[in-house]
Structure 1
Amino acid sequence: MLLLILTLCSAGAFFYYGYEALVADRVRQEFERYGVPQYRVLVGSLQVMGALGALVGLVNDTIGALATGGLMLMMLIGVAVRLRIHDAPREMAQAAFFAALNGVLLYLHLT
């Protein structure tokens, strides 16, 4: 039950954020601020695919582990980017939270 609830939270968030990265002007501006505008479409696409993989992971632990591990890594990179541009801790809290959440999901898929 824990795996289901956490997966639905993560997948829902990454479907939303991935879609936003693909279409929202606000996110386009954020990627420019991060200094990596060329990665916006890639990141958005990976977020949507990671969300799909997390859902498939409810029936296939290998795919779930790969998807949640990938999402965790992406969020850790997000924290690193925010550290590099000297964002305030509250600005990187969301990425850190989703890195931790997907780390827990990865653990649940591997055990």
Structure 2
Amino acid sequence: MDYPNVNAFSLSLIVFLVGSGLSFLVFGFSCLFSPYMVAEFKRYGLIGYRRLNGYLQVIGGLGLFLSFYKPLIGIIASLGLAILMLLGFLVRLKIKDGFIKSFPAFFYMIINSIICFLLWNQ
């Protein structure tokens, strides 16, 4: 099928937005309610930041979905999530989790940087 208003650029942006948005909603709620995440944040030495991290992830995930209506919200949300994931990546390296365990944060940092770039250049 050929959709006249959907090109490869638009489709890739939609896939990145939806995938990342859903992921951050799931991870954010996990931070807020999962006993496993309580233990993880203790291990990171950041137990006092667990709820803030969860709220920021949920707000960022919702912001990505709102970018369909207001791209500026998506730019801010994706930039914020990219920074949050950069910090998460650095924390994981600092506690010596190694690159494999740190990779998800690195991956989401890259994905959200791409989203920010695509929305900025839309």
TM over 0.5: yes
Map of 1:80 onto structure 2: 90
Specify the SS of the correspondent of 1:71. Answer: helix
Map of 1:40 onto structure 2: 50
Greater C-alpha radius of gyration: 2
Map of 2:3 onto structure 1: none
Q: Distance in 2 between matches of 1:100 and 1:92?
A: 13
The alignment covers a number of residue pairs equal to 111
5+ residue gaps in structure 2? Answer: 1-10
Note the 1:18-33 alignment, pairs <5 A. Answer: 18-33=28-43
Map of 1:98 onto structure 2: 108
| TM-score (structure 2 length as normaliser) | 0.89
Specify the SS of the correspondent of 2:102. Answer: helix
| TM-score (structure 1 length as normaliser) | 0.98
What's the CA shift for 1:103? Answer: 0.4
Specify the SS of the correspondent of 1:86. Answer: coil
Task: Tell me how large the CA RMSD over aligned residues is.
Answer: 0.6
User: Is 2:70 the counterpart of 1:60?
Assistant: yes
5+ residue gaps in structure 1? Answer: none
After superposing on structure 2, the runs of 4+ consecutive aligned residues of structure 1 that deviate more than 4 Å are none
User: Is 2:118 the counterpart of 1:108?
Assistant: yes
Q: Distance in 2 between matches of 1:84 and 1:58?
A: 36
Q: Distance in 1 between matches of 2:61 and 2:98?
A: 27
Identity of aligned residues (%): 33
55-64 or 101-110, which moves further after superposition? 55-64
